[in-house]
Amino acid sequence: MTPNALAGEIARRRTFAIISHPDAGKTTLTEKLLLYGGAIRSAGSVKSRRSDRHATSDWLDMEQERGISITASVLHFDYEGFRINLLDTPGHQDFSEDTYRALTAADSAIMLLDNRKGVEAQTRKLFSVCKKRRLPIFTFVNKCDRIGTDPLGLLDDVQAELGIDCFVSTWPVRHDGQLVGVWDRGRSCVRLYERTDDHGSSRPAATVHTMDAPEVEEALGREGVERLREEVELIEIAGTEPDFDAVLRGESSPVCFGSALTNYGVDVFLERFLSIAPPPAARESEEGPVDPADEAFSGFVFKVQANMDARHRDRVAFLRVCSGAYDEGAEAVVSRTGRTIRLAQPQEFLARERGHAANEAVAGDVVGLLDRGNLRVGDSLAVGRSIEYPGVPRFSPEHFAQIRMDEALKRKHLDRGLRHLAEEGTILLLFAPSITGPVPIVGAVGVLQFDVLLDRLEREYGVQARLERLPFHCARWVTGPEAVIDKVANAYGRRRVEDADGATLILFDNEWTLQRSVEEEKELTFHDVQPRGVARA
Ligand code: G4P
């Protein structure tokens, strides 16, 4: 690819994730974005999807049984000249770590709110991650086909709760309480939708009018038009002015109102989002910022998933390309190990169909690489140089359990399963020393991860294991004199363990004991993530 062609390709990339609280309508909106992008022909209603069809991004049987989307996957499609990479993220809060990681690979985020609930717990948590990364955030207030909280009041709440400026980009237009269209502030026009009888599985026909057009009066009545005029005036007087530079700095968020279920307002939202959302920008690395149009390929792994397809016992590492174009066959340096690997043919992902080679992946894209155990979450790869992107952070586990198994002969299978799932980042694998050899202990951010672990050990590794919950709720890597580590770890309510690399951690029964140790034991350093250079080679 010539430098110009590369720059042109990168400029049309939009890589983003959707953050929301469960049930706000993320699956529905994702389906609609795929529908608009032509990636699927018709969107099934969530209900029919739950009973007999499954959302395109559901991978595991268990997710389908439970009707929740657990693992993050990547959907990409072309829309009006843009190449869209949608990092699908799990809705369940026990899997927020997956979402957290997906956000490290995103250039912007869509914040989806329920019009009756506004900012909810999970939105708040994920928003704080976006804020730290200064990601531009685009807000879509969903379910406006139902009457919800007063829209301006909702905006005030978002500003007060999250500390981000919000400005109206589109506004719900109602007639007799029914959503009939949206006011498009940027274009100063009303978009009216035609009602469909297919429960939103296709795009509704839309017509665009100025406020004084007869079609608008016909749809809203004279009084309705007057009310809309007043609302628009109020937005201009009392609302925040649009500031697109502030959006790009992550300080202000354009807000669109609509309904993912009926598709009303989704088209304008997508247009606005694509016109403002940034293409891939320079990324910070240990060696300084790396320009996306830099021809030398580099990227980092933000997710590893094993056994996505029962027929192929392999793992897929999801790599976000940060610079250049993915160079199949080239030798890339893995910064963590200093080893060189040959870049394999990337896999393209949309639903369960795999096996198509991705047509050239450039900065901003995500490629899935078949991996035989060389790559881990957080690894940076680069061709012709060594680049290290900041590690992909992980949440500290809050639940711990010891693994028990009756079939001693399957111990090897268990070990392999645990190792794989730990490398995916599903669980933190630890070992407690004992006379009979190290005892595996698993740590997880949410308890549902334990269910997934047992389920996957059985399905994928043929191992029936049990978990015995342990009374610990936090863990820290520790460095310092051995004697002091032992003294702290031997106190009541703690335990000394090692991670799979042989680095030492202490488990604590609660946050308070941990904080006390941090304050009292000045000779020890407590780390949230595995510190460099402490792992046994
Ligand atoms: P999630 O992925 O964020 O968890 O949400 P999901 O899309 O699964 O939607 C959660 C529920 O909200 C679903 O209802 C869905 O139909 C509904 N929903 C999504 N968008 C809208 C919208 O724009 N308007 C309205 N009124 N509802 C919406 P459910 O009761 O769980 O399923 P179903 O029985 O309706 O299919």
Considering the domain architecture, whether residues 379 and 404 belong to the same structural domain is answered as no
| pLDDT tens string 210-226 | 999 999 999 999 999 99
CATH number at residue 160: 3.40.50.300
Considering the domain architecture, whether residues 198 and 133 belong to the same structural domain is answered as yes
Considering the domain architecture, whether residues 376 and 404 belong to the same structural domain is answered as no
Give distance in angstroms: CA of 28 to centre of ligand 1.
6
CATH number at residue 487: 3.30.70.3280
Asked if residue 81 belongs to a domain, the reply is no
Considering the domain architecture, whether residues 197 and 246 belong to the same structural domain is answered as yes
Residues 6+ away with beta carbon under 8 Å from 32? 43, 200, 260, 263, 266
| Mean pLDDT in residue range 230-259 | 93
Give distance in angstroms: CA of 131 to centre of ligand 1.
27
Cβ of residue 259 lying under 6 Å from some atom of ligand 1:
yes
Considering the domain architecture, whether residues 16 and 148 belong to the same structural domain is answered as yes
* Boundary residue ending a domain (383, 415, 434): 383
Lookup: tokens for 339: 């080893």
Cβ of residue 89 lying under 6 Å from some atom of ligand 1:
no
Asked if residue 465 belongs to a domain, the reply is yes
Asked if residue 20 belongs to a domain, the reply is yes
- Please tell me the predicted confidence (pLDDT) of residue 434: 83
Q: Which of 117-126, 469-478, 503-512 has the lowest mean pLDDT?
A: 117-126
| Mean pLDDT in residue range 61-85 | 64
Confidence of residue 39 (pLDDT cuts 50, 70, 90): low
Considering the domain architecture, whether residues 333 and 445 belong to the same structural domain is answered as no
Which is more confident, 354 or 408? 408
Confidence of residue 530 (pLDDT cuts 50, 70, 90): confident
Domain count, the chain: 3
- Please tell me the predicted confidence (pLDDT) of residue 304: 82
Considering the domain architecture, whether residues 263 and 338 belong to the same structural domain is answered as no
Provide the domain limits for residue 36.
Answer: 3-67+91-100+107-276
- Please tell me the predicted confidence (pLDDT) of residue 91: 57
Cβ of residue 342 lying under 6 Å from some atom of ligand 1:
no
Asked if residue 84 belongs to a domain, the reply is no
Task: Using the atom order of ligand 1, give the atom closest to the CA of residue 28.
Answer: 7
Considering the domain architecture, whether residues 305 and 237 belong to the same structural domain is answered as no
- Please tell me the predicted confidence (pLDDT) of residue 51: 39
* Boundary residue ending a domain (246, 276, 306): 276
Judge whether residue 82 has pLDDT over 50: yes
Cβ of residue 142 lying under 6 Å from some atom of ligand 1:
yes
Counted residue by residue, the chain has a size of 537
Confidence of residue 12 (pLDDT cuts 50, 70, 90): very high
Cβ of residue 23 lying under 6 Å from some atom of ligand 1:
yes
| pLDDT tens string 139-153 | 999 999 999 999 999
Considering the domain architecture, whether residues 191 and 304 belong to the same structural domain is answered as no
Share of the chain above pLDDT 70, in %: 85
Give distance in angstroms: CA of 27 to centre of ligand 1.
8
Q: Which of 41-50, 320-329, 335-344 has the lowest mean pLDDT?
A: 41-50
| pLDDT tens string 22-31 | 899 988 898 8
Task: Using the atom order of ligand 1, give the atom closest to the CA of residue 23.
Answer: 4
- Please tell me the predicted confidence (pLDDT) of residue 421: 84
Task: Using the atom order of ligand 1, give the atom closest to the CA of residue 22.
Answer: 4
Which is more confident, 32 or 400? 400
Considering the domain architecture, whether residues 57 and 168 belong to the same structural domain is answered as yes
**Contact status, residue 31 vs residue 62, Cβ threshold 8 Å:** no
- Please tell me the predicted confidence (pLDDT) of residue 524: 96
* Boundary residue ending a domain (351, 383, 415): 383
Asked if residue 287 belongs to a domain, the reply is no
Give distance in angstroms: CA of 74 to centre of ligand 1.
21
Distance CA 532, CA 250 (A): 31
Asked if residue 263 belongs to a domain, the reply is yes
| Mean pLDDT in residue range 184-202 | 87
Considering the domain architecture, whether residues 181 and 112 belong to the same structural domain is answered as yes
Task: Using the atom order of ligand 1, give the atom closest to the CA of residue 142.
Answer: 23
Return the CA Rg of the chain. Answer: 25
Q: How far does CA 415 lie from the centroid of its chain?
A: 29
DSSP 256-313: EE--TTT-TTHHHHHHHHHHHS-----B--TTS-B-TT-SS-EEEEEEEEE-SBTTB-
Give distance in angstroms: CA of 492 to centre of ligand 1.
47
Considering the domain architecture, whether residues 223 and 197 belong to the same structural domain is answered as yes
Asked if residue 112 belongs to a domain, the reply is yes
Asked if residue 173 belongs to a domain, the reply is yes
Cβ of residue 143 lying under 6 Å from some atom of ligand 1:
yes
The pLDDT mean for the chain works out to 85
